[in-house]
């Protein structure tokens, strides 16, 4: 039963409004959530030429703000809705936490990412780097521009960025790619809003390239629409992952003239990386095989849950008969007893034009190839 008087409700509303409007809310929310270490900030109150009683009350409210927040969930004085709203104040929210990538959310929550406050400004445009994570399989960088109230910005940050160039320890990133191969792809994913985005890339070590160092200095140069000269910014990158699982099963299945092999499985708290190889056993050119080129893979745990695909990269010699592919997916919530790979072929209305068959939900239709399906036990010993 709610026994608070109307007067108490009115006073509480005033306190809540005071807390929302004072800068101390940043530290208070973090302290309440027990997510980050406390930082004591002292605020100086200006002298007011008013009665001492009023001045003391204002000072008491400021000092007591932390106590009120720490009792939110015990006393029920502030509703859960308000508490949730306070946690989701945009200025407090990590791009990784809200971007919809389970691995990046985990990195943010478990302290596996590196928080940064790096930015560069040119011709009035500021590009900032707030967070970076590297787990040995992929590098993800949270970028953002300051949000200006009432500014009519028609283009998103993602739309304004182009021509990204990356250097690892002052060496072009493509020097890590295999000889005579594709370049290392640079992807950009949506961030938490129009003012943010996530830049992501991975090495091609499973395709014959060199692995990235465990720690390196990354230089990013990018062109911004409406700005003449590229923006350049330096980003420290470090692999903080200690617990991971690596398996090399080399299990194969055959269908028609295609041999499908699961070569490597890498599990980190941030990424599931699956390396596969497709070989045309009749030695025909891989690039000329519509069936082989159209094959994708879905990954399931032992409970039948399908992992969400994040990105991937592959390599094949233009004149060769095989392709090595990396699939990067969301991490498993816990290490499963087994995982199942289900290769499939995408169905097309017109393959030459790239027109897919669509289901009732507007999604591309696929057809699984049971002859190529592989189920593998997972030994969770760390490597």
Q: What is the C-alpha to C-alpha distance for residues 168 and 300, in angstroms, rounded to an integer?
A: 35
- Considering the domain boundaries, does residue 343 fall inside one? yes
Q: Tell me the average pLDDT across 216-242.
A: 96
Which of 57, 73, 92 is the endpoint of a domain?
92
Do 322 and 301 lie in one domain? The reply is yes
Contact 300, 339 (CB under 8 A): yes
- Considering the domain boundaries, does residue 176 fall inside one? yes
Partnered with residue 366 across adjacent β-strands are 346
Residue 78 lies in domain: 7-92
Q: What is the C-alpha to C-alpha distance for residues 208 and 176, in angstroms, rounded to an integer?
A: 9
The domain that contains 296 carries what CATH number? 2.60.40.1640
Tokens encoding 51:
């009665």
DSSP letter (8 states) at residue 182: P
Which of 211, 238, 265 is the endpoint of a domain?
238
- Considering the domain boundaries, does residue 217 fall inside one? yes
Q: pLDDT-derived band of residue 272, with 50, 70 and 90 as boundaries? A: very high
Q: Please, which residues have CB within 8 angstroms of residue 227's CB and are 6 or more apart in sequence? A: 122, 123, 125
- Whether the per-residue pLDDT at 164 is higher than 60: the answer is yes
Per residue in 104-142, pLDDT tens? 999 999 999 999 999 999 999 999 999 999 999 999 999
| Higher per-residue pLDDT: 175 or 17 | 175
Task: Report, in angstroms and rounded to the nearest whole number, the Rg of the chain calculated over CA atoms.
Answer: 26
Per residue in 44-88, pLDDT tens? 333 334 444 444 444 444 444 444 344 334 334 444 444 443 333
Please give the C-alpha separations between residue 161 and each of 153, 219, 226, 272, 280, in angstroms, as whole numbers: 14, 16, 10, 28, 39
Q: What is the pTM of this model?
A: 0.72
| Confidence at residue 335, expressed as pLDDT on a 0 to 100 scale | 92
DSSP H or E run through 297: strand 295-301
DSSP letter (8 states) at residue 23: T
- Whether the per-residue pLDDT at 211 is higher than 70: the answer is yes
Do 155 and 203 lie in one domain? The reply is yes
- Whether the per-residue pLDDT at 221 is higher than 70: the answer is yes
| Higher per-residue pLDDT: 224 or 180 | 224
Do 102 and 227 lie in one domain? The reply is yes
Per residue in 369-379, pLDDT tens? 999 999 999 97
- Whether the per-residue pLDDT at 353 is higher than 70: the answer is yes
| Higher per-residue pLDDT: 29 or 335 | 335
SS3 145: coil
Contact 256, 291 (CB under 8 A): yes
Q: What is the C-alpha to C-alpha distance for residues 25 and 22, in angstroms, rounded to an integer?
A: 6
């Amino acid at each position: 039963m709610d026994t608070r008087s109307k007067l108490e409700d009115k006073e509480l509303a005033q306190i809540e409004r005071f807390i929302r409007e004072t800068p101390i809310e940043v530290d208070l929310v973090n302290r309440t959530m027990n997510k980050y270490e406390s930082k004591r900030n002292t605020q100086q109150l200006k002298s007011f030429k008013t009665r001492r009683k009023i001045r003391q009350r204002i000072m008491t409210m400021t000092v007591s703000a932390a106590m009120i927040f720490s009792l939110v969930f015990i006393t029920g004085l502030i509703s859960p809705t308000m508490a949730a709203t306070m946690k989701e104040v945009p200025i407090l929210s990590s791009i990784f936490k809200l971007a919809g990538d389970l691995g990046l959310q985990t990195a943010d929550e478990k302290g596996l990412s590196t928080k940064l406050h790096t930015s560069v400004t040119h011709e009035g445009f500021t590009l900032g780097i707030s967070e970076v994570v590297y787990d040995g399989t992929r590098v993800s960088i949270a970028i953002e521009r300051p949000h200006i109230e009432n500014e009519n910005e028609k283009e998103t940050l993602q739309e304004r960025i182009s021509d990204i160039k990356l250097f690892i320890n002052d060496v072009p990133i493509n020097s890590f790619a295999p000889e005579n191969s594709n370049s290392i792809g640079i992807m950009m994913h949506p961030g938490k809003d129009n003012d943010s985005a996530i830049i992501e890339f991975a090495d091609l070590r499973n395709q014959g390239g060199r692995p990235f160092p465990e720690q390196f200095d990354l230089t990013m140069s990018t062109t911004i629409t409406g700005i003449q000269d590229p923006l350049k910014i330096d980003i420290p990158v470090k692999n903080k992952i200690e617990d991971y699982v690596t398996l090399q099963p080399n299990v194969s299945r055959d269908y028609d003239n295609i041999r499908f092999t699961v070569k490597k499985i890498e599990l980190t708290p941030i990424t599931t990386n699956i390396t596969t190889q497709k070989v045309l056993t009749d030695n025909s050119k891989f690039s000329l095989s519509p069936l082989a080129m159209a094959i994708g893979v879905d990954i399931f745990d032992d409970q039948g849950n399908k992992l969400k695909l994040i990105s991937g990269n592959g390599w094949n010699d233009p004149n060769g008969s095989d392709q090595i592919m990396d699939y990067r997916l969301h991490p498993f919530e816990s290490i499963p007893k087994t995982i199942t790979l289900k290769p499939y072929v995408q169905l097309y209305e017109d393959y030459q034009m790239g027109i897919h068959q669509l289901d009732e939900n507007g999604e591309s239709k696929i057809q699984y190839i049971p002859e190529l399906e592989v189920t593998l036990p997972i030994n969770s010993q760390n490597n």
